Structure 1
Amino acid sequence: MTDLLNAGKEFEDASLSPEGTRDTAPLAADIAEANQALVEQWADKLFDASATDIMEWTAVHAPGRIAVTMSMENTVLAELAAKAGLDADLLFVDTGFHFPETLETADAVEKRYPQLPLKRIKPLLSPEEQDAVYGPRMYSWDLAAYNRMRKVEPLNMAMDEYVGWVTGLRRADSEHRASAPALSLDRTGRLKISPIITWDLDSTDKYIADEDLVIHPLTLQGYRSIGCAPVTFRVGEGDDARSGRVFADGKTECGLHE
C-alpha cells in the first residue's frame, strides 16, 4: 500500500548513518597485547568450560572493566556476573522498539543487581527522528540498516571504556553459532566472552528456575528469542527458538555477532 502521507518526501539514504556516528575507540596497545595473549593461552581451555568457570576466569584475568550485554530475553548473564564478582556494567541497547515487557524486565534487573550498574544505550536518533530523516518503519523495508543504526552502532559507541564484553551466545541456537568459541577477540581486539556457549534452552530454563531469576514474561507466552517488537514472533512447540525472529535477507544475526 502506498504511504500517501509521505508521498513525495525526500528522505536520506539509509546506507548513510546519522551524523555523529563513530566507531569504537581503539584499545591501548598494552591492553590489546594482553587480550591477544589471553586468547592464545586460554581459548582452547575454555572452549567447553562451565559458565561459572568462564565468568570466574573473566573476573580474575580480564585486564580492565567488562561490559555484560543484556537483551533482557533472559537475565542469566547478570546473575553469573554478580556471583563471580565481576567488575562490570550491564549494557542494554534500548532501540526504542522494544516490547513494554522488555523494558519492565530491564527495570527489574536494575533493582536486583545494584552492584552491576545498568547502562541503557540509545541510538543517536529517536524513532520519531529516524522516521523523519530516513522514512517510516525502516525495519519493514531495510532491516539491515535498521539493525545497524539502532543496535550495532550504538553498542560500538558505548564500548570505548571496556576491555571486553560478555555475550549470551549459545552454540545450540543456530548452525551459524554451532562452533562459536567461548573466548575470542572481536574486530577491535576486545575480549568476547560467552559463558553460556555450551547451554541450550533447557539448561537455560533450568538455571533460571534454580536461581529464581527475573523472567521476561513473554518467554512464558511462546516468545523464545526476543528482539524488537516489530520483528519478533511466537514460535511453535519444538520449533527453533530463533525462527521467531526476522533477520535481514541472507542473515542469521542482527549484526552484533557478525
Structure 2
Amino acid sequence: MKGKITYNQWDTHAEEILNNQFKDFMDVIKWAYQVYKNDILYACSLGAEGIVLIDLIYKVNPRAKVVFLDTDLHFKETYVLINKVKERYPKLHIKIVKPTLNLDEQATQYGEELWEIDPNMCCTIRKIKPLQKELTSVDAWISGLRREQSSSRKNIDYINKDTKFKRVKICPLIHWTWDDVWNYIHLNNLPYNELHDHNYPSIGCEKCTLPVNKKSDSRSGRWANSEKKECGLHQA
C-alpha cells in the first residue's frame, strides 16, 4: 500500500512515486482516508467541483470532516446549497467556520468595504486565517483544484507540498475537465449552486464575483476589476 507522507517529513522521491502510482481520482481519495484517517479534512467552497468531491468522499468515508469557510459575504444561493448538502449527506461532519472578526469589527479596524480597498487583506481575514486555524489539527487537506482551471494550477499533482499552510494538499480532480464535473453532477442528480445556471462558473463571495462570458476563462469573474486572481488559499 502506498505510504503516508507528511509535510515535516517530506520526501520528494516518495511524492513522485505516489503521484505516479495512483490509478485515478478514487484511488487518491481511498488512499487519503486510509493513511490519514481522522487527520485530514476537506475544505470546500461548494462550487461545482466541491459538490462532486463531497459525493465522492461520502462514498469512501461518510463521516469525513468537511470545512466550509463562511466569510459572511457569500451569495444567498450558496447558503441555500449548504442546507441541501446537509440533508443529502447527513453523516458528514460539516463545520461552518467563520472569521474572528465579524463585518462590523472588520470595518472598524480596516475601513468599510475592505474587499474594495484591499481584497488581499479581506481574503486573509475571512478565508486564510480561519482555514489555517482548522488545519492545525490535521496533517493533510483535500482541495477540488483542477489543472484546467487556470495557468497557475496547470502543474498541480494529486499529492502536493503545501508551503502556505505547511500541510499535505491532496487534489483528486486534477485531470477532470469542466464537462467531466457537470456530467457527474447531472448523472448523479447532485444539488448545486443555482448561480452556475446564470454564467457563474466560479463562485466566491458576492462582493468579488461576477457572471462571465461563456467564452471567458472560468475564473475571470473572480476579482474581475483588479489584478487579483486567487484568494490566497492556493498560493505559496
Q: Which amino acid aligns with 1:209?
A: H
Matched, 1:212 2:186: no
Change (3 A) 1:126 1:98: same
Match of residue 183 from structure 1: 159
Structure 2: gaps spanning 5 or more residues? none
Q: Which amino acid aligns with 1:72?
A: L
Question: Which of these two proteins has the greater Rg computed from alpha carbons?
Answer: 1
SS at match of 1:148: helix
- Contact 1:171–1:198 (8 Å) recurs in 2: yes
| Correspondent of 2:125 among 149, 154, 161 | 149
Alpha-carbon distance, 1:158 to partner: 1.3
Let me know the Cα RMSD of the aligned residues: 2.1
CA deviation string 1:102-132 (max 9, x = no partner): 1111111122112211101100011111112
Match of residue 179 from structure 2: 202
Alpha-carbon distance, 1:228 to partner: 0.3
CA deviation string 1:77-108 (max 9, x = no partner): 11011111266211000001000111111111
SS at match of 1:165: strand
Q: Which amino acid aligns with 2:36?
A: A
Change (3 A) 1:223 1:139: same
With normalisation by structure 1, the TM-score equals 0.81
SS at match of 1:244: coil
Q: Using the alignment, how far apart are the partners of 1:64 and 1:36 within structure 2?
A: 22
Match of residue 170 from structure 2: 193
Matched, 1:226 2:203: yes
- Contact 1:248–1:254 (8 Å) recurs in 2: no
Alignment of 1:97-108 (within 5 A): 97-108=73-84
Q: Using the alignment, how far apart are the partners of 1:33 and 1:142 within structure 2?
A: 33
- Contact 1:185–1:192 (8 Å) recurs in 2: yes
Matched, 1:70 2:44: yes
Structure 1: gaps spanning 5 or more residues? 1-29
| Correspondent of 1:52 among 1, 12, 26 | 26
Alignment of 1:1-258 (within 5 A): 32=7, 36=11, 39=15, 41-46=17-22, 49-62=23-36, 64-74=38-48, 75-85=51-61, 88-187=64-163, 188-246=165-223, 250-258=227-235
Q: Using the alignment, how far apart are the partners of 1:257 and 1:168 within structure 2?
A: 11
Q: Number of matched residues?
A: 227
Q: Using the alignment, how far apart are the partners of 1:111 and 1:70 within structure 2?
A: 16
Change (3 A) 1:120 1:248: farther
Match of residue 4 from structure 1: none
Change (3 A) 1:247 1:50: farther
Q: Using the alignment, how far apart are the partners of 1:256 and 1:109 within structure 2?
A: 23
CA deviation string 1:190-249 (max 9, x = no partner): 221101111121110001111111111110111100000011011112221101111795
Aligned-pair identity (%): 32
Change (3 A) 1:154 1:100: same
Q: Using the alignment, how far apart are the partners of 2:15 and 2:114 within structure 1?
A: 38
